[in-house]
């Protein structure tokens, strides 16, 4: 994670509209909660195409210009600032999204608290930058860390507008912010990389994209500092709600920092660069699922948490949809990760493909982990401390073991296994919080996973035994990869209808209004 917005961030996919249920004015307002989420999802469907295309092109172009070592130096230099940025947010943003009353006062409280902590953490990150150079045994890594420190203060400015726009299910936020950030990072970083600035092209690109993020959010958001009155009591309430979330964020960033230290220290800065690029590719599709949970499901669940039956139905529906997407991502990556990276990025980046293969389970793990949004919506955030413990202990333990024995593949596997384990724990907790039996919950997950695995196995056999894309010329290889994708989609669609008919119907029902809207407006 960089200080600026990760250019792989994606808007929520078009599976969100029907995730919440009926149009109940009593709980959703005059326009209807379902309709409002539908508008966000429709906007996201357009924004995701733009953002993902830009990100994929930028990722490929930068890989052709920069070396794995330069990417590794940027990853090493970003470790401290990523952790500091997480500390600044501290769960207060989620507390503001979840809050029912005194919103202006709460927003003022969050704004001042995060701005003050942002200034403090910027100074601490700057002071600690030499430690990065020492740990990675590279002076440039320390200089990069020092230069990135100012991004922490900039990031402290996004918390309040992000939370308020999320509360409002803002369509403009989806259409403007994500694509703008992606465009700016791509243009600045690629332009400077072509000019020979190396790792500094990523540093400047990160600052440019962060400034764009801040500017576009404040342009869209109609709240301004000074409208509310900050109080210590509100701060305590917000911290009380957000503390378990903050602990989870700290643990996640702490684990990523340890991950960078172990990978860079044990395998070298070049391999850290390979791993980070594999991770970036993995996060392109995973970002879709993250955005569904963070920007659609959490505020929606918060609104309907008082109606238990509606909450249960919404959760099972949303779980079914995100697992269909997440399982597809995981199985597809497991089938073609290495040949895809070699063909698209070049032989120099093969190690990124190996790491990406290890991380194939991230899609499914992230999908199941959206169960956390139901727990947050129900106000039971203290339960998330258990997940934090699982992630820290299992994540660091597996990383140390598998990185030593299996190199980049082991680092990727540690990430996948930790994500899947955390997802299973969250699934069990959400089931308990909502009072659901195991049957419907497992029925929303297992048949889809089996269908995706079988489709992935078929494509892996096709690629390994027949096509061998990585050994072909560029255009033939790209055509073969496209064939892999088409075969996978066809096989998955058929298997989904045979093995998981309920999931197939849910996807069809969710897609129908979106397609109708697009055709009507077209």
Between CA 445 and CA 30 the distance in angstroms is 34
Rounded to 5°, the CA angle 447-448-451 comes to 90
Between CA 353 and CA 336 the distance in angstroms is 9
pTM here is: 0.73
10-residue block means of pLDDT along the chain (522 residues)? Answer: 35 32 38 51 58 78 89 87 80 79 86 91 91 85 92 91 80 76 92 93 94 92 87 85 75 76 79 87 75 66 84 91 92 94 91 93 91 88 84 86 88 92 94 93 94 96 93 92 95 95 87 60 53
Asked whether residue 310 is assigned to any structural domain, the reply reads yes
> Smallest Cα–Cα separation from 415: which of 393, 399, 438?
399
Q: Where are the beta strands (DSSP E) in 38-142?
A: none
Asked whether residue 451 is assigned to any structural domain, the reply reads yes
Asked whether residue 112 is assigned to any structural domain, the reply reads no
Residue 248 pLDDT: 73
Residue 517 pLDDT: 56
Asked whether residue 520 is assigned to any structural domain, the reply reads yes
Q: Compute φ and ψ for 315, nearest 5 degrees.
A: -65, -50
Domain containing 361 equals 279-522
Asked whether residue 39 is assigned to any structural domain, the reply reads no
Each residue of 328-367: b (16+ CB within 10 Å) or e? Answer: bbbbbbbbbbbbbbbbbbeeebbbbbbbbbbbbbbbbbbb
Asked whether residue 57 is assigned to any structural domain, the reply reads no
Between CA 287 and CA 280 the distance in angstroms is 10
> Smallest Cα–Cα separation from 374: which of 437, 410, 339, 426?
426
Count of structural domains, the chain: 1
Asked whether residue 290 is assigned to any structural domain, the reply reads yes
Q: Positive or negative, the Cα torsion across 217, 39, 500, 485?
A: negative
Q: Which helix (H) or strand (E) holds 489?
A: helix 474-499
> Smallest Cα–Cα separation from 65: which of 203, 182, 183, 201?
201
Q: Is 416:293 a contact under the CB 8 Å cutoff?
A: no
Cα–Cα distances in angstroms (integers) from residue 52 to residues 20, 48, 75, 88, 147, in the given order: 26, 6, 21, 28, 28
Residue 7 pLDDT: 35
Between CA 352 and CA 436 the distance in angstroms is 41
Instruction: Quote the tokens at residue 329.
Output: 């991502």
Beta carbons within 8 Å of 480's beta carbon, 6+ residues apart: 463, 467, 468, 469, 472
Q: Which DSSP symbol is given to 264?
A: I
DSSP codes, 394-422: HHHHHHHHHHHHHHHHHHHHHHHHHHHHH
Asked whether residue 34 is assigned to any structural domain, the reply reads no
């Amino acid at each position: 994670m960089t200080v600026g917005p990760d250019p792989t961030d994606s808007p929520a996919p078009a599976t969100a509209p029907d995730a919440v249920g009926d149009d109940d004015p009593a709980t959703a307002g005059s326009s209807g909660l379902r309709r409002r989420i539908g508008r966000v999802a429709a906007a996201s469907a357009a924004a995701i195409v733009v953002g993902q295309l830009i990100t994929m092109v930028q990722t490929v172009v930068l890989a052709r210009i920069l070396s794995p070592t330069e990417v590794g130096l940027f990853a090493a230099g970003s470790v401290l600032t990523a952790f500091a940025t997480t500390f600044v947010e501290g769960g207060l943003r989620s507390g503001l999204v979840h809050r029912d009353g005194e919103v202006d006062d709460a927003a003022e409280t969050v704004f001042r608290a995060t701005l003050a902590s942002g200034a403090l953490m910027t100074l601490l990150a700057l002071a600690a930058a030499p430690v990065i150079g020492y740990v990675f045994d590279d002076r440039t890594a320390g200089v990069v860390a020092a230069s990135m420190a100012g991004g922490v203060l900039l990031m402290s400015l996004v918390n309040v507008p992000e939370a308020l726009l999320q509360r409002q299910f803002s369509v403009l936020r989806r259409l403007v912010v994500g694509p703008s950030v992606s465009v700016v990072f791509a243009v600045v970083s690629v332009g400077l990389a072509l000019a020979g600035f190396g790792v500094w092209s990523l540093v400047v690109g990160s600052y440019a994209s962060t400034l764009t993020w801040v500017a576009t959010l404040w342009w869209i958001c109609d709240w301004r500092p000074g409208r509310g009155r900050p109080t210590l009591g509100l701060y305590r309430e917000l911290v009380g709600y957000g503390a378990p979330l903050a602990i989870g964020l700290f643990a996640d960033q702490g684990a990523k920092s340890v991950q960078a230290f172990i990978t860079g220290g044990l395998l070298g800065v070049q391999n850290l660069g390979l791993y980070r690029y594999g991770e970036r590719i993995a996060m392109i599709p995973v970002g879709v699922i993250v955005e569904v949970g963070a920007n659609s499901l959490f505020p929606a669940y918060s609104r309907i948490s008082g109606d238990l039956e509606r909450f249960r139905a919404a959760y099972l529906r949303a779980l079914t949809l995100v697992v269909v997407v997440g399982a597809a991502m995981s199985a597809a990556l497991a089938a073609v990760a290495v040949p895809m990276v070699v063909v698209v990025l070049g032989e120099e980046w093969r190690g990124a493909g190996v790491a990406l293969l290890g991380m194939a389970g991230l899609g499914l793990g992230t999908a199941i982990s959206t169960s956390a949004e139901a727990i947050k919506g129900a106000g039971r955030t203290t339960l998330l401390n258990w997940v934090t413990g699982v992630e820290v202990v299992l994540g660091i333990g597996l990383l140390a073991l598998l990185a030593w024995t299996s190199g980049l593949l082991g680092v990727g596997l540690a990430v996948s296994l930790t994500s899947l384990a955390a997802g299973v724990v969250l699934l069990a907790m959400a089931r308990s919080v909502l009072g659901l039996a195991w049957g419907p919950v497992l029925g929303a997950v297992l048949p889809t996973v089996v269908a995706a695995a079988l489709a992935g196995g078929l494509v892996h056999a096709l690629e390994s035994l027949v096509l061998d894309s990585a050994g072909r010329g560029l255009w033939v290889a790209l055509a073969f990869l496209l064939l892999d994708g088409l075969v996978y989609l066809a096989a998955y669609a058929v298997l989904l209808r045979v093995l998981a008919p309920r999931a197939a119907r849910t996807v069809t029902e969710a897609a129908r209004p979106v397609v109708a809207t697009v055709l009507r407006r077209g």
